[in-house]
A and B are shown apart, each in its own frame.
Chain A
Amino acid sequence: MMKKIMLLFSLLIISVVSFAQEKPVSYRVEMADTMRSNGRIYVVVAVALTILIGLVLYVVRIDRKISKLEREK
């Protein structure tokens, strides 16, 4: 169940990223320009994702701590 969900979302994200990067042929040969293209929107995505993942990790930690407390009971 969990594996299926993970697979589904990873495919979803891959498809979206490939969507967003569609460009004329002349651009495709250039390298390492993802973070500089499209008005550097990818930098914003990276920042926003970092904050999101940081917050999620924090919530996961709290979850773990509460689980531990519950087990100690």
Chain B
Amino acid sequence: MTDTKNYMYKSWWKIASVALLIYTFTAGLLLDVPRLPALQETIRNLYFHVCMWFAMMILFTVSVVNAIRYLRTFNIKYDIYARQFAVVAIVFGLLGYLTGAIWASYTWADPNKPAINSFSTIARDPKLIGAAIALLVYFAYLILRDSIQDMDKKARISAVYNIFAYAMLFPAIWILPRILPSLHPGNEGNPALDVKNDISGNMRMIFYPAVIGWTLLGVWITTLKIRLSLLKEKGMLS
């Protein structure tokens, strides 16, 4: 456990994460943004809502990599890594979903009616349904895991399921919403990454650091959970 070379115990990237987030919150709220109809100041949500999904995607990717590493080595450590990264990714996904719901109810909803009246239109948006499917698939991952008692069987089955769940992410949140008509922006290209159309240079100066900052915060929380599970594994707690 005194493996001090491990990145989990270093503090420079945690400080970098906090610094980037402070930068995101200050610059993200203060710097100039393009003046667009309907969006208005809510365009600043790019630094928060969109970053949640970016962080989620990165954390799910780390999770599936660790699942594969487990299947190659059968080292229980990687199973713990895969599980905790998936859990934190789900939290980020839920936050992305919630913030998206708030944002949509002020930008997609018919301004002449109460937001609740536009709910049925918004709730049917393929991007939302896709994201819901993706998250539900990962909820099933957690339920499947925790319903198996035997540790090796649990690790092996959930690692395999993790790969399938990751494969489901792509049709659910990347492909399907692009095929169907959607209110959600960015269906023609790479949302928030399209340099020419989507996002002004000024915004990119905040958006990329914001993605890195939020992702590192997610990784930090994950490493805490991993360290706790490793302690539990050693019989320290419980």
Contact = CB atoms under 8 A, between A and B. Distances in A.
A51 to B, nearest CB: 9
Nearest to B234: A73
Given A2-B15, A45-B25, A63-B224, A20 B236 contact: no
Q: Interface size class for chain B?
A: 20 to 34
Given A9-B16, A16-B31, A59-B221, 4 more contacts: A1-B12, A5-B19, A16-B26, A45-B29
Dominant SS at the B interface?
Answer: helix
Given A70-B231, A73-B234, A73-B236, A59 B23 contact: no
Given A6-B19, A16-B27, A69 B224 contact: no
Given A59-B221, A70-B1, A45 B30 contact: yes
Nearest to A67: B9
B236 A59 contact: no
B26 A5 contact: no
B92 to A, nearest CB: 14
Contacts of B27: 13, 16, 20
